[in-house]
Amino acid sequence: MDNRPIGVFDSGVGGLTVVKEIMKQLPAEDIIYFGDTARVPYGTRSRDTVIKFTLQSVRFLMSQGIKAVVLACNTASAISLEVAQQQFDVPILGVIEGGATTAVRATKNKRVGIIGTEGTINSGAYEKAIKSLDDSIETFAKPCPLFVPLVEEGLQDSEIAYMAALEYLSFFKDKSIDTLLMGCTHYPLMADTIRRVVGAGVNLINPAEETALILRRVLARIDILNDGANPPQYRYFASDDGERFKKIGSNFLKCHISSATKVDIERY
Ligand code: DGL
């Protein structure tokens, strides 16, 4: 047993969709969340920059005495998971494995679409993970950069979001996919709009669910689950002012965030 918190990192508020799943699957665990809101988005940044920002963020979480880290950000997971795993001596998980596993399980016709930021799609990380599980699966990947700002503005169910989804997702029209992997923290909030475009016959995959299950397995295997003696504590940190984090974050988490502490991330 180990009652230290789990650290969850994202480029901004989107990783709270992963926190929500961790709260559900691991209700006894304390969580410390860091959102790099001063430097979001990561999705359009270079590989070197994403790695640098990720390592700084994990260093901050380590300074808070965490026992494991989840890179909730798809872009950070796709680009910097291995580097982070080599640098720190706590278990570090990304979201790619969970998303790929669920997509492979869900597809019947072995044709899987992947959507994410430019960074995630250009890295090819989801394709690689899917192929390593089943190399007979065909993948089709498309970045959807406008989805992130639309969700952050609370416009995920609007006609503008629908138009953007029509534009991006027309790429999949002739691909006969039966599964679409939503490879970005923000996209599960757009699921209704995405569903309107792709139709009822396509499985929509949210990597967060399986990621929380994998985390539970990892903590159990090395015997560092929380003993549950105390009610769980959740603490939120952000690199920019906490007010916007609280406002947008509460929408992602579907519950009120009462405080978010500002961190000078350049110090780490
Ligand atoms: N959190 C990012 C991801 O899941 C989306 C926002 C960004 O571009 O930083 O890829």
Say how far apart CA 190 and CA 168 lie, in whole Å: 13
pLDDT < 50: residue spans in the chain: none
What is the pLDDT, as a whole number, of residue 250? 87
Say how far apart CA 30 and CA 36 lie, in whole Å: 20
CB of 10 sitting under 6 A from ligand 1: yes
Name the token pair of 180.
């679409």
Please give the distance, rounded to the nearest whole angstrom, from the Cα atom of residue 26 to the centre of ligand 1. 24
What is the pLDDT, as a whole number, of residue 152? 86
CB of 5 sitting under 6 A from ligand 1: no
Atom number, ligand 1, closest to the C-alpha of residue 44: 8
Say how far apart CA 213 and CA 238 lie, in whole Å: 26
Please give the distance, rounded to the nearest whole angstrom, from the Cα atom of residue 11 to the centre of ligand 1. 6
Edge-first strand order for the sheet with 31-35 is: 92-93, 68-71, 6-10, 31-35, 234-238, 261-262
Residue closest to 8 by CA, chosen among 189, 238, 263 = 238
SS3 label, residue 6: strand
CB of 22 sitting under 6 A from ligand 1: no
Choosing from 73, 194, 204, 215, the catalytic residue is 73
Do the beta carbons of residue 32 and residue 8 sit within 8 Å?
yes
Say how far apart CA 91 and CA 58 lie, in whole Å: 12
What is the pLDDT, as a whole number, of residue 262? 95
Other beta carbons within 10 angstroms of residue 65's beta carbon come to: 10
255 is catalytic: no
Pocket test for ligand 1, best of 186, 211, 239 (most atoms within 8 A of CB): 186
For the chain, domains (ranges, CATH) are 6-94+209-267 (3.40.50.1860), 96-207 (3.40.50.1860)
Choosing from 121, 184, 225, 265, the catalytic residue is 184
Say how far apart CA 62 and CA 88 lie, in whole Å: 9
Say how far apart CA 200 and CA 211 lie, in whole Å: 24
Within its chain, how far is the Cα of 204 from the centroid?
A: 15
Q: Who's near 151: CB < 8 A, 6+ residues apart?
A: 14, 186, 187, 189, 190
Do the beta carbons of residue 96 and residue 207 sit within 8 Å?
yes
What is the pLDDT, as a whole number, of residue 77? 98
What is the pLDDT, as a whole number, of residue 242? 87
Say how far apart CA 252 and CA 98 lie, in whole Å: 20
What is the pLDDT, as a whole number, of residue 247? 87
184 is catalytic: yes
Please give the distance, rounded to the nearest whole angstrom, from the Cα atom of residue 41 to the centre of ligand 1. 6
Q: Who's near 149: CB < 8 A, 6+ residues apart?
A: none
- Is 0.75 surpassed by the pTM of this model? yes
Do the beta carbons of residue 184 and residue 43 sit within 8 Å?
yes
CB of 206 sitting under 6 A from ligand 1: no
Say how far apart CA 235 and CA 31 lie, in whole Å: 6
Say how far apart CA 53 and CA 37 lie, in whole Å: 11
